[in-house]
Amino acid sequence: MSVNEVQQNKEVEQNWEPKILVFACTWCTYAGADLTGLSRLQYPPNIRILKVPCSGRVNPQFVIKAFQKGVDGVLVAGCHPGDCHYTSGNYFTRRRFLLMRRLMEYIGMEPQRFQNRWISAAEAPKFQQVITEMTEEIRTLGPNRKLRDDQW
Amino acid sequence: MVDLTLEIRKTAKELLEKGEAKVVLGWEKGNFPYSTTPVFIDKPEDTERLIWDEYCINNLALYMLDYKHLDGKVGIFVKGCDSRGINRLVQDKQLDREKVILIGLSCPGMKDEKKAKELGPNADIPMAQKCQDCRYPDPVVYDVFLGEKQNKKVPEKIDTSDVEEMETKSPDEKYRFFTTNYEKCLRCYACRNVCPACNCKECIFDQTATGWLAKANNVSNNMFFALTRAMHVGGRCIECGECERVCSVNIPIMLLNKKIIKDINFLFGDYDAGLETEERLPLGGYDYTDPEEFM
Amino acid sequence: MKYAYFPGCSLSSTGIEYDLSTRETARVLGIDLWEIPEWNCCGASSGHLTDHLLSLALPARNMAIAEEAGLDVAIPCAACYARSKNTELAVCNSAEMRQEIEEVIERKYEGKAKARALLDIIANDIQAEVIKEKVHKELKGIKAACYYGCLLVRPLAVGFDDPEDPQSMDNLVKSLGGETVDWAYKTECCGASCPTTVPETGKKMLERIFESAKNAGANCLVTACPMCLNNLDMRQGQVEKTYSKKYDMPVFYFTELTGLAFGVEPTKLGLNKHFVDAMGLVNEVLKADGRRETA
Amino acid sequence: MKRVGVFICHCGTNIGGVVDCPKVAEIAKDYPGVVYSVDNKYMCSEPGQELIKKAIKEQNLDRVVVASCSPRMHEPTFRRCVENAGMNAYFMEMANIREHCSWVHASEKDKATEKACDLVKMAVAKAIMNKPLQKATIPVTDRALVIGGGIAGIQAALDLANAGHVVDIVEKEPSIGGKMAQIDKTFPTLDCSACILTPKMVDASSHPNINLITYSEVEKVEGFVGNFDVTIRKKARSVDMSVCTGCGVCMSKCPSKVDSEFEMLLSKRKAIYTPFPQAIPNKPVIDRDNCTYFKTGKCGICQKVCTLGAIDYTQEDEFVVTRYGAIVISTGFEQFDHSVYGEYGYGKYPDVITGMHFERLINASGPTMGKIKRPSDGKVPKNVVFIKCVGSRDVAKGKSYCSKTCCMYTAKHATLVTEKIEDSNVYIFYMDVRTGGKGYEEFYNRTREKYDAQYIRGRVSKVFKQGDKLIVRGEDTLLSQAVEIEADMVVLATAMVPQADASKLAQKIGIGYDKDHFFTEAHPKLAPVETHTQGVYLAGACQGPKDIPESVAQASAAAAKACGLLSKSEMLTEPIISVVNESICVGCGLCVPICPYKAIDLKTISERDHGKTIERLVADVNGGLCQGCGACTVACRSGALDLKHFTDQQILAEVNALCL
């Protein structure tokens, strides 16, 4: 298997649209996303929300697996510390992803591609703002080649 | 280097003869002057094979996993890093402290066997990098102690200069560095098999049905393996550097492990793995005052 | 303590006494005022009525020159201060606005040079003890109604004191040995251009201010804005005639009072240039037994 | 391969207006496993559900994917639907193509359709990996806890007690009664607040099933529905309740006077006190911060005069841990701290007071025995100005919401001023008058016409003192002219906000709260008294501004919900819990400290290993305690621990489906 082409081709393919996976905890961020819908706050259609019971359920290995499968950005979002429905789930999320973010940046993944935010069930405008900003940041970065498993 | 070989053999012989230990674990000379291999002695007369020289670099802790269900005690010689490995196994409930007799040896720092292979026998062989940076030459836990403790002046904090140097690079440079290295990885899993922190009964990389790690030996899956193992040993790595030493394609694995150690110290307060067996692991708990970066 | 000094148009014309007393007060307090070379008009209300970018760019040029000299800008007049502060905030808050402004004034302005109201500097930056220590002649007999007007303390982002009940000028007058009264029209508008354009409304607004100050027992008004002083001083006679009232309340700039208290000769402060004769009260103060004779 | 049926809902035009549902149904046909794919106007309707049931039978489907609204809304509906057709409820998976797709991408129709396809594809991939799950049963303790002893708490407790359940009311103050005890008359009937409240208080105190735990606070809440282990801190009263008869001698003899919080600091109380005469329990409490004995060690008069020896200075805070099946939270409200409105001069001018101060002034047992007097000089005011929406409906400095009750109680105050003080003038500055209850509009009209209160539509810009009068300057927007009123007294109708420690209590119990710290109900329309945490119910102003009739209604509703739970000795629980694969588990025990519910511990098992029987440790999850957060599954490196219905493989399937 020759060294696959890692140099990013900066010119963006014409019809490329960033594809962003969002892990959202049911009690806060998923509910926040629902409220964003309820309030008809528009945001770019590039995200796909994957529901998990708690942000503490998100295994860092899912994030690597998502990049392997060619996702351009991953957002792990959950309740603000203290608000967790299971009292301490997001404290573990915070520890794990404080480390994981630095490790991913350390091996060369642009920090904007993998973000973590606390978004509560009442913060619809924040959900809209975070998603819009992240989509624009990733659009400027262009498609993600790193960690991509080009077998398929 | 104080020659403790005779003392080692005597101690091992006594243990076996008195039946205190069913088997004693130490080092014996390998085929080349720079190589030693772990050896399991269960007969008193075989203790002659035990040696103690500048190449006893192998970390013997992980072999204890094979003796988990031995009905009898095991004697094992432990340097500083080995003793931390033993503590790790006890902390992970993989080793019953009473079933092992630890014979402590103060470690002067072992030679770099790869350099020895390159430079030939009579050249001046430098000490292995990990031993130069070593902060625990004297064993942190032992039952018997041979020789004296060095109480050497050791650096207060782990040396992460190489990690900091890597951090200054641009994303593409860093990515190219790690992928060119991990492109060579054969996935022989030697690094996992020698690591005292990797003591699972069935490693997820062996459970191919789960869909975590595909069998394909390409950069993407190798990176998945590297990053996942780095996260798994996060907060457990005792910086013994064995993974790097045994890697057949010389991948600088410790660069990843030291990065996580540096971040754990920075984020959650200094923590050295394997110094005791009761405290909660850094990733096994949390603190209300952890740094907040996700607001 | 060195500041760039932006006198503004009023202080070079109708408000000359504000400029004279400011320079004297600064000299005594050891504040080095470096007048901005070829400063241009801040645009005041006509500026921001015609065009938003114009209203920001005009003060920006002065602030840019000050920033090149690495100095914050001391601004006596409330209107100039408000305009300059808005420019500074606009530049700090939005990069595109800053870029637009820099294009117009063809200079760099990053918002590092801060717009500072002169009252803010003297009343808040300089400790009360330093002021008291400099007082040569206590202002016995002064019962001042401190009038902040509408621009100096509002809106919240621009003001430097409590918008409802500001105290900085009151505290300053008290440290000069004078008395102040608590009255309700501290921050009510003086009518600005109304007394000239719509006299019946403007005069009503002024009458209410005089009435409230009178009821509160004040014998003079103190202000920090040339427009307010104009209206209160120049139109007091007309208001007295229209509403057949007698106020006879001199109107001072707070720098005139500081100058007086520091023992500067009254005519040097321009105290003789007021419509409502201020010299009567001034002489009363000078005659009263001052605290101590200093050089 | 599992046979999957996909059902795309139009939800009228909510989804159909943006997402091309027929096209999505068409594309879904060639997703792996999909054998039947159809779209329909209203999936959740009767015909919609019939369509699903019929398809399950005819196409003998193994899995069902419904692409419609948020699962937080209709997951239970569709689970029941497939269950009725004989399919395991957990074989149904939903894709949210309304809140997460059509409603938020209204202007990008084809991209929204493409996104809908992806979401359906993810749901199909997950559904295929879903395993059949059965609900388990857990015990329910037949005891309820009511937090907050105001009218809502009392009503809920009475309803629960009358239904035969044991109820504990925990009240922070020395007596139950809450805010209603401070109020004089109640709108719209003007009947006296104490007259309708105190009987209920007596009922609560004498009811065999109700225990009053006053002067106490909730310290910690552990466990989960049916099994809440609540630690209650019973603050030291320094009075032995069992001995004291409430004779009040100690209160009369106590030398140190303190501003009475109940009387809004308008009059004094003693260091040993009951908040108000009709207090229940009518036994005093020593305020240790202001009691000379506790401050200096001298005095001790109350102990000397107490013939029964009920005074006990050595009492300490006591912690009681009790298990409850259900919790009703009725912590009520507080007045908004309106010191941000410097322009009204509150705090500077003593005659500018709030609505609650006014209630104490007109209350017969208040500091002025019901005569309205100015706090500054005690004179009877002639001109009284009321300012409404102080803090409410003000995004800049106050709260963004309307506090609902001020219009009515201000009208009530206006009526009472006119009744109690002849030839008095009442002015009310308002933005709108909101009279949304029964008899409210008529009450408001009577205030305006019969009691000729002057309603001035406009905001007040400034209140300042002139002589002994208060000049209120505002604007009359109907006449579009400035208005100035010389007033003797100004009453501010301040906003309703939750208790200061509401967010802390919410975090202790594990329920949500909104940006204003009002507790969040499960659904604003369909479940107003429930919370997302099963077994925890809300009643009264703690859930949002409301008046007494609504609080009482919510209290009875919450009680009904709690009765539904407590009437059964067991209840079904969500089967979404962690499970250990003992063959992989190495017994390292890292998962044990992770679990917030302490549901995991290690057990020894024996098994054959190379011809020998050996014993080893493995993790063991107590299905009853586990609430399914999944934090332990990530801590388990070898993946021995997995969370049912959100297993590693199910989530991986969704991730893979997203990208291939």
Average confidence score pLDDT of chain D: 93
In a domain, D653, yes or no: no
Asked if the model's pLDDT at residue B277 lies above 90, the reply is: no
Whether residue D60 is found in the same domain as residue D77: yes
Contacts of D115 in chain A (CB under 8 A): 45, 48
Domain interval for residue A100: 17-141
The lowest-confidence range among B61-65, D28-32, D79-83, D640-644 is: B61-65
- pLDDT recorded at residue D490: 95
- Residue B113 lies inside a defined structural domain of this protein: yes
In a shared domain, residues D470 and D358: yes
- CA of D636 to nearest chain B CA: how many angstroms apart? 9
C-beta of residue D258 within 8 angstroms of C-beta of residue D269:
yes
- Residue B106 sits in the same domain as residue B182: no
DSSP string over C171-208: HHHHHTT-EE---TTTTS---TTHHHHSHHHHHHHHHH
The rounded distance, in Å, linking the Cα atoms of D275 and D264 is: 11
Predicted confidence band of residue A151 (pLDDT cuts 50, 70, 90): low
Q: What is the DSSP string of A117-141?
A: EE--TT-HHHHHHHHHHHHHHHHHH
Tell me the mean pLDDT in the region D541-553: 96
Per-residue pLDDT of D401-422, as tens digits, reads 999 999 999 999 999 999 999 8
Nearest to B284 by CA among A128, A95, A121, D504: A95
Higher pLDDT, D636 or D511: D636
Other CB atoms closer than 10 Å to residue B290's CB: what's the count? 15
pLDDT confidence tier of residue A31, bands split at 50, 70 and 90: very high
| Res A13 pLDDT > 80 | no
What span, in angstroms and rounded, lies between the C-alpha atoms of C71 and C48? Answer: 25
pLDDT at B4: 84
Which of residues B146, B178, B203 is at a domain's end? B146
Q: Is residue D358 part of a domain?
A: yes
Contact D348 C162 (CB under 8 A): no
Over residues C183-206, the mean pLDDT reads 89
Q: Do D588 and B93 touch (CB under 8 A)?
A: yes
Categorize the per-residue pLDDT at C295 as very low, low, confident or very high, splitting at 50, 70 and 90. Answer: very low
pLDDT at B267: 92
> Is there a domain that residue B289 lies in?
no
Q: Which of residues 120-179 of C touch D (CB under 8 A)?
A: 162-165
Q: Which of B101, B118, B146 is the last residue of a domain?
A: B146
D147 in the same domain as D118:
no
Mean pLDDT taken over chain B: 90
pLDDT tens digits, one per residue of B79-109: 989 999 999 999 999 999 999 999 999 888 8
Does residue A6 have a pLDDT over 70? Answer: no
pLDDT at C99: 92
Beta-carbon count within 10 A of D89 CB: 19
Asked whether residue A89 is assigned to any structural domain, the reply reads yes
- Given pLDDT bands bounded at 50, 70 and 90, which one contains residue D250? very high
Question: For residues D48 and D67, what is the distance between their CA atoms, to the nearest angstrom?
Answer: 12
The model's pLDDT over A86-124, given as tens digits with 9 standing for 90+, comes to 888 999 999 999 999 999 999 999 999 999 999 999 899
How far apart, in whole angstroms, are the C-alpha atoms of residue D389 and residue D394? 8
The whole-number average pLDDT for the span C230-240 is 91
What would the two tokens of residue D496 be? Answer: 């309703």
Residue D109 placed within a domain: yes
Could you tell me if residue B26 is inside a domain? yes
- B166, B175, B231 member nearest A100 (Cβ): B231
State how far residue A68 is from chain B, nearest Cα, in angstroms.
6
Inter-chain contact B259–A7, Cβ cutoff 8 Å? no
Alpha carbon C285 to chain centroid distance?
22
Residue B169 and residue B129 share a domain: no
Q: Are both B106 and B212 inside the same structural domain? A: no
The position carrying tokens 């902060």 is B135
For chain D, percent of residues with pLDDT exceeding 70: 100
Q: Answer yes or no: is D660 within a domain.
A: no
Task: Name the band, by pLDDT with cuts 50, 70 and 90, for residue C291.
Answer: low
The rounded distance, in Å, linking the Cα atoms of C283 and C260 is 10
Is the domain of B116 the same as that of B186? no
D488 & D510 share domain: no
Would you say residue B65 lies in a domain?
yes
**What does the alpha-carbon distance between residue D522 and residue D516 come to, in Å, rounded to a whole number?**
17
Q: DSSP secondary structure string, C16-40?
A: HHHHHHHHHHHHHHT-EEEEPTT--
Question: Is residue B48's pLDDT more than 70?
Answer: yes
Strands D92-96 and D268-270: unpaired
Chain B contact set for D612 (CB, 8 A): 69
| Residues B274 and B168 reside in one and the same domain | yes
Cα–Cα distance between B204 and B200 in angstroms, integer?
Answer: 9
Residue D459 burial by Cβ neighbours in a 10 Å radius (0-12, 13-18, 19+): middle
Show which subunits contact D, needing at least 3 CB pairs below 8 angstroms.
Answer: A, B, C
D38 shares its domain with D115: yes
In a domain, A148, yes or no: no
Domain with D389, as residue range(s), is 340-495
Please tell me which residue of chain B has the smallest CA distance to D613.
B69
Q: Is the pLDDT of residue B119 over 80?
A: yes
Task: Say whether pLDDT at A152 is over 70.
Answer: no
CB contact under 8 Å between D629 and A86, yes or no, is yes
Do the chains contact at B223 and A64, CB–CB below 8 Å?
yes
Residue spans of alpha helices (H) in B92-240: 113-119, 129-132, 161-167, 171-183, 190-194, 219-232
Domain that holds residue B95: 5-146
Mean pLDDT across the stretch D444-470? 91
Segment holding D465, helix H or strand E: strand D460-466
Q: How far is C192 from C218, CA to CA, in rounded Å?
A: 22
In a domain, A129, yes or no: yes
Domain contains D372: yes
In a domain, A57, yes or no: yes
Residue D259, chain C, CB below 8 Å: the answer is: no
Q: The tokens of D337 are what?
A: 């701290």
What lies within 8 Å, CB to CB, of B17 at 6+ separation is: B44
| Closest by Cβ to A42, choosing from D104, D506, D510 | D104
End position of a domain, from candidates D553, D570, D587: D570
What is the rounded CA–CA span in Å between residue C67 and residue C71? 6
| D6 pLDDT higher than 70 | yes
Q: Name the band, by pLDDT with cuts 50, 70 and 90, for residue C287.
A: confident
Residues 6+ apart with CB under 8 A from D501: none
The Cα B271–Cα D623 span in angstroms is 34
How far, in Å, CA of C182 to CA of C189, rounded?
17
Instruction: Answer yes or no: is A23 within a domain.
Output: yes
pLDDT band of D348, cuts 50, 70, 90: confident
Domain of D599, CATH number, reads 3.30.70.20
Looking at the structure, do residues B19 and B129 belong to the same domain, yes or no? yes
Q: Which of D98, D114, D512 faces A121 most closely, judged by CB atoms?
A: D512
Same domain, B106 and B132: yes
Q: Are D202 and D321 in the same domain?
A: yes
pLDDT tens digit sequence for D156-182: 999 999 999 999 999 999 999 999 999
If pLDDT is split at 50, 70 and 90, which confidence band does B2 have?
low
Of B218, B260, B268, the CB nearest to A149: B218
Assigned domain for A115 exists = yes
pLDDT of C292 strictly over 80: no
Of B119, B146, B173, which one is at a domain's C-terminal end?
A: B146
Burial group, residue C241, by CB count within 10 angstroms (0-12, 13-18, 19+): exposed
Contact C184 D465 (CB under 8 A): yes
Q: What is the ipTM of this complex?
A: 0.65
B18 and B141 belong to one structural domain: yes
The distance of A15 to chain B (nearest Cα, Å) reads 24
- Our count of domains for chain D comes to 5
Whether D17 and D33 map to the same domain: the answer is yes
Does one domain contain both D324 and D353? Answer: no
- For residue B286, give the nearest of A6, A94, A118 by CB distance: A94
Q: Name the percent of chain D lying above pLDDT 90.
A: 82
Q: Residue B69: is its pLDDT beyond 60?
A: yes
Query: Does residue A132 lie in a domain region?
Result: yes
CA dist., res. D504 & res. D111, Å (int): 43
Q: Are residues D478 and D510 in the same domain?
A: no
Condensed to tens digits (0 to 9), the pLDDT of residues D122-136 reads 999 999 999 999 988
Quote the number of domains for chain A. Answer: 1
- Helix-, strand-, coil-residue percentages of chain B, each rounded to 5: 40, 10, 50
Q: How many CA atoms lie within 13 A of D538 on its CB side?
A: 32
User: Are both B71 and B142 inside the same structural domain?
Assistant: yes
Nearest one of A150, A144, A133 to A47, comparing CA atoms: A133
At residue D131, the pLDDT reads 95
Say if residue C102's pLDDT is above 70.
yes
Single-letter amino acid code for the residue at B226: A
The pLDDT tens digits for D293-325 are 999 988 889 999 999 999 999 999 999 999 999
Residue D389 lies in a domain: yes
Considering its fold, how many domains does chain B have in total? 2
Same domain, B23 and B110: yes
| Pair of tokens at residue D323 | 């298990």
Residue D654 maps to a domain: no
The answer to whether residue D656 is domain-embedded is no
Do D116 and D157 belong together in one domain? no
pLDDT of residue B1: 61
Taking the Cβ of residue C201 and every Cβ of chain D, the question of whether any pair is shorter than 8 Å is answered with no
Q: Phi-psi region for residue C248, left (φ > 0), alpha (ψ -120 to 50) or beta?
A: left
CB–CB of A57 and D119 under 8 A? no
Closest CA to A61 of B171, D651, B77: D651
Distances in whole angstroms, Cα of residue D295 to Cα of each of D285, D288, D289, D300, D312: 16, 8, 7, 11, 16
pLDDT band for position A7 (cuts 50, 70, 90): very low
What is the distance in angstroms between the CA of the first residue and the CA of the last residue of chain D?
18
Closest CA to A107 of A76, A56, A63, A138: A63
Domain with residue A133: its CATH number is: 3.40.50
Shared domain check, B37 and B128: yes
pLDDT tens, position by position, B131-174:
888 888 899 999 989 888 887 788 888 888 999 999 999 999 99
Packing angle of the helix pair C16-29, C254-261 (nearest 10 deg): 40
pLDDT in tens, B261-273: 999 999 998 899 9
Cα–Cα dist B104/B138, whole Å: 8
* Residues B142 and B10 occupy one common structural domain: yes
Task: Answer whether residue B293 is part of any domain.
Answer: no
Whether residue D197 is found in the same domain as residue D325: yes
Whether residue D253 is found in the same domain as residue D192:
no
Q: Write out chain B residues lying below 8 Å of A104, CB-based.
A: 227
Alpha-carbon gap, residue C97 to C105, rounded angstroms? 12
CATH label of the domain that carries residue D398: 3.50.50.60
Record: contact D631-A31, CB cut-off 8 A: no
Is A55 a member of any domain?
Answer: yes
**Closest C-alpha to D214, from D182, D169, D246, D247:** D169
**What are the backbone angles phi and psi of residue C127, rounded to the nearest 5°?**
-70, 150
* CB contact at 8 A, B219 and B183: yes
Chains D and A touch (3+ CB pairs under 8 A): yes
Nearest to D532 among A17, A21, A27 (CB): A27
What pLDDT score does B204 carry? 92
Which two structure tokens, joined as six digits, stand for B179? 């992928």
CB-CB contact of B90 with B277 (8 Å): yes
Give the separation between CA C243 and CA C128, rounded to whole angstroms: 40
Residue A2 has pLDDT above 50, yes or no: no
Instruction: List, in sequence order, the alpha helices (H) in chain B.
Output: 5-17, 80-91, 113-119, 129-132, 161-167, 171-183, 190-194, 219-232, 242-246, 254-268
Mean of pLDDT values over C79-99: 92
